[in-house]
Structure formats: C-alpha cells, structure tokens
C-alpha cells in the first residue's frame, strides 16, 4: 500500500500544495505505527484547508479522503 497527501481548499475544489508521498514509520515505544505526513506548506492567506489523503492499495482502486483542518 502507498499513501499520498496534498493540501486543498476547504471545499476541495482547488489544490494548494501538490501531492507528495507519506513515509511509513513503524511502531516504537513512544508511538504506534503510522504514515507520516509529507511536507506541505500552508499558504499565509489560508484560513481553512483540507489535507487530501490518497490511499493506493496493492490491489484494487485507490481512494481519497479530505480531512478539514483549521489554520491558526
């Protein structure tokens, strides 16, 4: 499986930061296993954005999820 992320506007219509690959980090004593977010820069003018995760399984169709975040 491969996981990618991009930054999009809160409505999901415009891409603010192009898709980059995430990095799988195995379990440690401090954290569970997870995919570390690729480096995305939030534009200074942004108030609300979404992180778009695209999951590509070894077999089958890829799927995308938009996770809204509030910019402070």
Please enumerate, as own/partner, the contacts of 22-27 that have beta carbons within 8 Å and a separation of 24 or more: 22/53
pTM to 2 decimal places? 0.79
At 41 the pLDDT is 76
Q: Which two tokens stand for residue 18?
A: 């192009």
At 19 the pLDDT is 92
Query: Which position has the higher pLDDT, 42 or 60?
Result: 60
User: For the segment 8-53, what is each residue's pLDDT rounded down to a tens digit?
Assistant: 999 999 998 899 999 889 999 999 998 887 777 777 777 789 999 9
Query: Which position has the higher pLDDT, 67 or 35?
Result: 67
User: Do 53 and 67 touch, CB atoms closer than 8 A?
Assistant: yes
């Amino acid at each position: 499986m491969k996981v990618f992320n991009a930054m999009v506007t809160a409505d999901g219509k415009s891409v603010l930061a192009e898709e980059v690959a995430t990095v799988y980090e195995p379990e440690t004593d401090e954290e569970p296993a997870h995919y570390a977010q690729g480096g995305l820069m939030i534009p200074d003018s942004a108030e609300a954005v979404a992180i778009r995760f695209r999951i590509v399984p070894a077999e089958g169709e890829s799927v995308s999820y938009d996770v809204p975040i509030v910019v402070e």
